[in-house]
Amino acid sequence: MGILDKEFSDGNIVITKVEDLFNWARLSSIWQLGFGLACCAIEMMATSASHYDFDRFGVIPRNTPRQADAIIISGTVTLKMATRIKRLYEQMPEPKYIISMGSCANCGGPYWNHGYHVLKGVDRVIPVDVYVPGCPPRPEALLEGLLKLQEKIRHESLTKKQA
Amino acid sequence: MKTPDEIFDILKNNFNDDVIGIEKEQPTEPIIFVNPSAINKVCLFLRDNEELKFDSLMNLSGVDDANGEKVKDNDGSEIIKGGTLSVYYHLYSIKYKHKITLKTSTSREEPRVESVESVWKTANWHEREAYDMFGIIFNNHPDLRRILMPYDWEAGYPLRKDYKNPEFYQGMKVPY
């Protein structure tokens, strides 16, 4: 990371790249939008609760998209909800990240064929960073997804646009 | 506590032709057939009659009987012409602990049933759902809007047997 290892003898000065500092700050406090859709949301809440404790990774739910860094799409995205999700995403400030949690949000899940009301994957309306498979994923899987997102943010560039 | 036959006899005496018959040859509880234009009056009677007191509408649901003629559409898919759509009412009396099922059938092309919202407030959302899923129009319903599908859903009624899902909704691709 470069922040702590390049220490001066003085102790009050560290040298790092702006990029590394920003990325470190961003990945250490991913505030998620307090937003749940279906049974995956129960699992997401379990991840937030004391046993799995999302907060130890700096993830706390915020109740407005204006103060959120990430949105976890936790559940079935209906067509009716998809338009609202798009609006919520647009209301979030940059940089913003999306975790698609569970089979429904990934690809429609069990509704892929006969779900007349289901959007077959939230990536049809908003760009997803991390897909977490499972139906629903266990809290460990969601934590893994978060760590993957952190890894992604750690290697972001301020100048070069990431794919 | 009254048996379905006794309830049917009471209804038959009071409503004559509007109560069409009783169906018992099936694994479910007996079903009383009612004329769709009289269902609100029959239901009000069932609720207020001292011997019956059906104070609870447990469920109201639409059904596509799909008993019409199946014809090929221009694009080769099958659509159903004619036949009926039905509405089922499951009633329960908390006072007497008896229950009964009502059924009313209406034409698929012009599906109109009288609303029982004025009898049981529960029916409000149940009828909106039947309208949303089957396109059954409930006369005198105070607020007959779609309840589950988006308000601007124009592709029809999803639980009809010949429903075809659209390619796109608001720019979003719908099929897998």
pLDDT digits (tens, 9 = 90+) for B78-119: 888 888 999 999 999 999 999 999 999 999 999 999 999 999
Q: What is the percent of chain A with per-residue pLDDT over 90, rounded to a whole number?
A: 77
Q: Which residues of A touch B169 (CB under 8 A)?
A: 79
B positions 104-163 inside 8 Å of A (CB): 148-150, 158, 163
Distance from C-alpha of A87 to C-alpha of B146, rounded to nearest angstrom: 22
Q: Residue A3 pLDDT more than 80?
A: no
Q: What are phi and psi of B124, to 5 degrees?
A: -55, -60
Write out the E strands in chain A: 32-33, 61-62, 70-74, 97-101, 130-132
Q: Which of A10-24, B51-65, B109-123 has the lowest mean pLDDT?
A: A10-24
- For B152, which residue in chain A has the nearest alpha carbon? A80
Span between the terminal Cα atoms of chain A, in Å: 22
Q: What are phi and psi of A85, to 5 degrees?
A: -60, -40
- For A83, which residue in chain B has the nearest alpha carbon? B170
Q: In whole angstroms, how large is the CA radius of gyration of chain B?
A: 18
Q: Residue A70 pLDDT more than 60?
A: yes
Q: Do B176 and A82 touch (CB under 8 A)?
A: no
What distance in Å separates residue A92's CA from the closest CA in chain B?
A: 21
Q: Do B172 and A117 touch (CB under 8 A)?
A: no
What distance in Å separates residue A138's CA from the closest CA in chain B?
A: 26
Q: Do A112 and B150 touch (CB under 8 A)?
A: no
Q: What are phi and psi of B22, to 5 degrees?
A: -130, 135
Q: What is the percent of chain B with per-residue pLDDT over 70, rounded to a whole number?
A: 100
Distance from C-alpha of A33 to C-alpha of A97, rounded to nearest angstrom: 10
Q: Do B170 and A79 touch (CB under 8 A)?
A: yes
pLDDT digits (tens, 9 = 90+) for B134-152: 999 999 999 999 999 999 9
User: What sign results for the dihedral spanned by CA atoms B100, B106, B111, B115?
Assistant: negative
